[in-house]
Structures are given as structure tokens and as C-alpha cells.
């Protein structure tokens, strides 16, 4: 009779959270295996989310650079790049990422087990392979890192080729003339920006009063103005009544009485944790209505030896945060109490231009009655931005009026997701090394976008002295 393979730690899912947990436990000398229901490692982040969407965004960016080239304009030639061809560049990046990530598992002697995992009992999972074969594995502890998928309301026909979600959009074989995007969260705003840069007519239906309400008000106002300026139609405080696809188009009827007709329809309103087929009932766990698992500060579920990390636990649902959560959960299991999870995680939103934010907003500080001041730098005044032609944007530093401690960083513009990390390093320092004086007393390369910190800090200091 064949014995059941046993591991110290068994991880379900190989996205950022699963990878972070697997590598950390392996480096602590634990026997580790990772179960992946798809044919290749990487999870939704690598195959349907972060990597392909950002690779597509970059391909569109380069397309626009070519189309704006004076050489082509003089020749009166505008090269055309179909959506499918731009997506081909994303596939190349995905392949490179998969090869790299597989080497991590191989190098660290983490066994990869293909198939769908289901809990049989508190220490046993059954894995069903693609051909239907089933095997059981046992472990001392588990990490659930199964990620999430787009939420699909029952009254929207996603089987129709003109009705898409953020996963199926990446399978489009042509460039649509127009699109209605329902949901103006991060995913909706990113795709609205990308598709508009391809000259697609974009209707963005926002179920809330403002775009990306969790961000600083000034940043969301700038994004809204930029969307309007580029021709994106934003409809706020709207909800759909009916989505009617046909052979030629999709008509969206809103509860306000408006009707929007477009080539295709993209649902981008919410995600659901991948917990439906995990056999959670066999271990006494229940997911919430969004398919997410409740965890404590150590990412333990109601079963202390079963951890959950990443999108399956909800906010902030970022690849960067998921990886760190996986590392933290594995470190906790290995008894490494000295490892601390960073709570201030930067937000990176890849619209055009980018948005990145860290720390408190003015709205929050006002509500908390914290005495603060603001320093700003507009990109159009920076030599580097003038040289590159990327002059739309600003850097905003929010700091304590008395101690000068940096409390928040908000950036809108080219490379915002990179620029944020300079301020992040200072903000994480203990007092008194976390003040905006650092930016005034430090010499930045010139011309660089980093110089925005010095300009913003000088502006802020000028308001308090």
C-alpha cells in the first residue's frame, strides 16, 4: 500500500502569496510543497492580472511613442497595432516570469503538485489532477493562497463574446471601436486609460460619487480632469439595470434611465476569493459572501495551523502585499517572531499617468485633527519632465506642522509608482529621521524626477516658517 506523502508545510496556490510562503519556509529548512491547479506557476498575478495588464500598458505606451514620432508624421503614416499583437508582448513577459518562478521552486527544493486541492480533514488534502487522478497529501500546516477572480453577477451573460471581465478581456482578438466599463475601481480605471490610449471610445460607469475615493482628493480630481481631457466619458453615481448584448453591440441600461451602446462591455466591479472548491467545510472554516477568509494578525484562520494570505483575505489585495503576507505567515509558522510585516504599503495604480500613494490623506488628517501642512511640486516645472515631455503630474508631501514628520506621500504622473519609494524610505525611519528636512539637505541628481522631493519639501517648509 502506497504511503501518503507528508510535508511540514503545504501551500495551495503559487501566486505572490504562495511563493513568498514557500520560499521562506524552504529557507528555514522545512519540507514544502505547493499545489497549483493551473498548468503553470504564478497564479492570477502572472497570467491574468498584474503582469499581462502592465505589459499591455507598456506596449500601448511604446505604440503611442511611435505614432507621435515626427518621422512618421512627416511621412503621413500612422502604424496600426491591433489589440492581439500588443497582447503578444504580454505573453512573452508571462513566459519569462513563469520560467523564472519555476526556477525558484526548483532551486529551493519545493515540490510542485499540479491539480485542484480540497481539504479532507484538518491535516489532509486530496489533489485532483487534470486527468481525474486523485492523490492525498498530509502536512503539519497549510497556507491558503488561492487568490481571487472577477465577480460575475448572475444577470449578466458572460458567455456572450461581447461581454467581458478583466480575465477574458485579455483574450480579445481585435481592437474594439468602443467599450463600456462598469466599475471605476483600480482595474476599471487602468483599462479605461489603456484603451483610450488606443483611441477606443470609453464609457466608464462609476457606482460611487468620485473616482478611487480611497485616494487623496487632489489626486482623484487630477485623474478625473485628465480622463475628461483625453475623452473618457465618466458617469458617476450610476448602477446598471440591464446588460443586453447582441450580435453587433452591447446596450447597458442604467437605473437613472440612461442607455449606453458600445462595441463591447467590460465588467470590472469587484472580485471574489477562490474558496468555492477547497473543502473548507471539512475543516470547520467558512468564507464570507465575497469568498474571503477571516484571519488574525498572524494570518491564521479559525484553524491555527491553517494560514491564508493574499487576495483570498481581502484588502489590500496587492501583489506586493500578498508576497509579504506569505513571507510573514511562513515566518510565524517557523517560529520567527522577529519578522514584522510592514503595515504602510504603497498603492500603485497604473493609469496614464500613474498614481501612487502612501500614508495619510489630507481628509484623514483633518478628521483626526492632526496639525499638518502640505508641500507640492508640479512636474511641469522639473527639467527632467520637460526633457521627456511627461509634464502632467505632481508630487504632494503631507507632514506634521510641528515635528515636520512625513505623514503622507501622494504622486500623480509618469513613474509615480517608482518615485514613491524615495519618500517611503524616509517615512519608515524612526523620529527624528523621518522629517521632510531630509529632502532639503540631500543632493539629488539633476535632472531627475526625484528632484520633485526637494522642490516639494522647500515649498512645504516655506509654509511653516
For residue range 340-359, list pLDDT tens digits in order. Answer: 676 788 999 999 999 999 99
**Domains along the chain?**
6-148+272-333 (3.50.50.60), 163-269 (3.50.50.60), 353-464 (3.30.390.30)
Between 9-18, 302-311, 400-409, 456-465, the lowest mean confidence (pLDDT) is in 456-465
pLDDT value, residue 233: 97
Residue 190 known to bind ligand: yes
Q: Which residues are bridge partners to 411 per DSSP?
A: 356, 395
Does the annotation flag 147 for ligand binding?
A: yes
The predicted pLDDT at position 74 comes to: 62
* Annotated binding-site residue? 238: no
Digit-coded pLDDT (tens) for 105-153:
999 999 999 999 999 999 999 999 988 899 999 999 999 999 999 999 9
Please indicate if the annotation marks 148 as binding a ligand.
yes
Q: Tell me: is residue 261 an annotated ligand-binding position.
A: no
Query: Cell triple for residue 292?
Result: 474571503
Query: For the segment 175-233, what is each residue's pLDDT rounded down to a tens digit?
Result: 999 999 999 999 999 999 999 999 999 999 999 999 999 999 999 999 999 999 999 99
The reply to whether 334 sits in an annotated binding site is: no
Q: Is 231 annotated as a binding residue?
A: no
Report the pLDDT averaged over residues 394-402.
97
Residues 8-30 have pLDDT tens digits of 999 999 999 999 999 999 999 99
Residue-wise pLDDT tens digits, 370-379: 999 999 999 9
Residue of 396, 308, 375, 310 lying closest to 345 (CA atoms): 310
Phi, psi of 94 (to 5 degrees): -60, -45
- Please check if 138 is assigned to a binding site: no
pLDDT at 327: 95
For residue 320, say whether it is annotated as part of any ligand binding site: no
Would you say residue 1 has pLDDT above 50?
no
Confidence of residue 337 (pLDDT cuts 50, 70, 90): low
Strand arrangement, sheet containing 240-245: 240-245, 250-254, 259-262
188 annotated to bind ligand = yes
* Dihedrals phi, psi of 341, to nearest 5 degrees: -80, 135
Q: How far apart are CA 163 and CA 159, in angstroms?
A: 7
- Give the Cα separation of 100 and 198 in Å (integer): 31
Which is higher by pLDDT, 52 or 279?
A: 279
Residue 102 CA to residue 38 CA, distance in Å, equals 13
54: annotated binding-site residue? yes
Asked whether residue 132 is marked as a ligand-binding residue, the answer is: no
413 is in an annotated binding site: no
The 10 Å CB-count burial string (b at 16+, else e) for 33-67 is bbbbbbebbbbbbbbbbbbbbbbbbbbbeebeeeb
Amino acid at each position: 500500500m502506497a504511503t501518503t506523502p507528508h510535508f511540514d508545510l503545504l501551500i495551495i496556490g503559487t501566486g505572490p502569496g504562495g511563493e513568498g510562503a514557500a520560499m521562506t519556509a524552504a529557507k528555514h529548512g522545512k519540507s514544502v510543497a505547493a499545489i497549483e491547479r493551473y498548468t503553470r506557476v504564478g497564479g492570477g498575478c502572472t497570467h491574468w492580472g498584474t503582469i499581462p495588464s502592465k505589459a499591455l500598458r507598456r506596449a500601448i505606451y511604446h505604440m503611442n511613442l511611435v505614432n507621435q514620432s515626427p518621422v512618421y508624421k512627416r511621412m503621413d503614416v500612422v502604424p496600426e497595432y491591433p489589440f492581439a499583437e500588443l497582447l503578444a508582448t504580454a505573453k512573452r513577459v508571462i513566459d519569462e516570469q513563469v520560467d523564472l518562478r519555476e526556477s525558484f521552486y526548483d532551486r529551493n527544493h519545493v515540490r510542485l503538485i499540479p491539480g485542484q486541492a480540497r481539504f479532507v480533514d484538518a491535516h489532509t488534502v486530496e489533489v485532483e489532477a487534470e486527468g481525474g487522478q486523485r492523490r492525498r497529501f498530509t502536512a503539519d500546516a497549510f497556507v491558503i493562497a488561492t487568490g481571487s477572480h472577477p465577480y460575475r453577477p448572475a444577470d449578466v451573460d458572460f458567455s456572450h463574446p461581447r461581454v467581458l471581465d478583466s480575465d477574458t478581456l485579455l483574450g480579445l482578438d481585435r481592437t474594439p471601436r468602443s467599450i463600456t466599463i462598469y466599475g471605476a475601481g483600480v482595474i476599471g480605471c487602468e483599462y479605461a486609460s489603456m484603451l483610450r490610449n488606443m483611441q477606443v471610445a470609453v464609457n466608464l460607469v462609476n457606482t460611487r460619487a468620485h473616482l478611487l475615493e480611497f485616494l487623496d482628493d487632489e489626486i482623484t480630481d487630477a485623474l478625473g480632469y485628465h480622463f475628461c481631457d483625453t475623452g473618457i466619458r465618466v458617469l458617476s453615481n450610476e448602477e446598471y439595470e440591464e446588460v443586453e448584448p447582441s450580435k453587433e453591440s452591447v446596450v447597458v441600461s442604467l437605473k437613472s434611465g440612461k442607455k449606453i451602446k458600445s462595441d463591447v462591455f467590460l465588467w470590472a466591479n469587484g472580485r471574489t476569493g477562490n474558496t468555492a472548491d477547497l473543502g473548507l467545510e471539512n475543516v470547520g472554516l467558512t468564507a464570507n459572501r465575497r469568498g474571503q477568509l477571516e484571519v488574525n494578525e498572524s494570518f491564521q484562520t479559525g484553524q491555527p495551523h491553517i494560514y491564508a494570505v493574499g487576495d483570498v483575505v481581502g484588502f489590500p489585495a496587492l501583489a506586493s502585499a500578498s508576497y509579504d503576507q506569505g513571507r510573514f505567515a511562513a515566518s510565524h509558522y517557523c517560529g520567527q517572531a522577529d519578522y514584522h510585516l510592514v503595515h504602510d504599503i504603497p498603492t500603485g495604480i497604473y493609469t496614464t499617468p500613474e498614481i501612487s500613494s502612501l500614508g495619510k490623506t489630507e481628509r484623514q488628517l483633518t478628521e483626526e485633527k492632526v496639525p499638518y501642512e502640505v508641500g507640492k511640486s508640479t512636474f511641469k516645472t522639473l527639467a527632467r519632465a520637460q526633457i521627456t515631455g511627461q509634464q502632467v503630474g505632481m508630487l504632494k508631501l503631507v507632514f506634521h506642522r510641528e515635528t515636520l514628520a512625513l505623514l503622507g506621500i501622494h504622486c500623480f504622473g509618469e513613474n509615480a509608482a517608482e518615485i514613491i519609494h524615495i519618500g517611503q524610505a524616509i517615512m519608515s525611519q524612526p523620529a527624528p529621521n523621518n522629517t521632510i528636512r531630509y529632502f532639503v539637505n540631500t543632493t539629488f541628481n539633476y535632472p531627475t524626477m526625484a528632484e520633485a522631493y526637494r522642490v516639494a519639501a522647500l515649498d512645504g517648509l516655506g509654509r511653516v516658517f
